[in-house]
Chain A
Amino acid sequence: EPEVTQTPSHQVTQMGQEVILRCVPISNHLYFYWYRQILGQKVEFLVSFYNNEISEKSEIFDDQFSVERPDGSNFTLKIRSTKLEDSAMYFCASSEGLVSYEQYFGPGTRLTVT
């Protein structure tokens, strides 16, 4: 069964460093998403991406964040200058198309900023 994959499973970085989290969405899906979950808090929407551009973003998704689909399979989230409060589990998700709202999630990347 097709699934969303994410790498790495755990990333440790120092404050101020740039990190790139990688995701491979399900191959025929057209919408891609990033969510995060800070330990003990709710899962929060960051951004959705369709047709090579951002379609929605939350107020969390400020200028330090960016997303990219560098090739036909990967979808990345970049955090330019990490802060301690960026420590969280980051989930990638994808959904099929214009009429399907079902989002399929990857296993997550745990980001620890020290």
Chain B
Amino acid sequence: AQSVTQLGSHVSVSEGALVLLRCNYSSSVPPYLFWYVQYPNQGLQLLLKYTTGATLVKGINGFEAEFKKSETSFHLTKPSAHMSDAAEYFCAVSEAGRRALTFGSGTRLQVQP
């Protein structure tokens, strides 16, 4: 069975600082990996995904993530935080060939002025 662990339920950074949100997964087969963002009172918006190919993937709003198989990680980064990045971020995984997403518990990002 798959599982997703997001370290840190709350992360606070200053505007302009590096954002690093951690995600580790366990899966018995090569996974597909996703990051979603949820703004207040809105649905989940896809930020980026990894399925195959290049392990460093770029997404919307300047975010990127790197798939590291040896570390079973898919951490999300952004070089410079913006106030508008304040939201909840969810890492999710699906087994290759399956559709069901398994989500982590989410990390709430606060950006301080």
Contact = CB atoms under 8 A, between A and B. Distances in A.
B77 interface: no
Chain A residues touching B, majority SS: strand
Contacts of B45: 105
A103 B43 contact: no
A56 B99 contact: yes
Interface of B: 32, 34, 36, 41-46, 49, 51, 90, 92, 94, 98-106
Nearest to B45: A105
Contacts, number: 52
Contacts of A95: 99
Interface of A: 4, 31, 33, 35, 41-45, 48, 55-56, 58, 91, 93, 95, 101-108
B43 A35 contact: no
Nearest to B90: A43
25 contacts: A4-B43, A42-B103, A42-B104, A43-B44, A43-B92, A43-B101, A48-B100, A55-B99, A56-B98, A56-B100, A58-B100, A91-B43, A91-B44, A95-B99, A101-B51, A102-B46, A102-B49, A103-B34, A103-B99, A103-B101, A105-B44, A106-B43, A107-B41, A107-B42, A108-B43
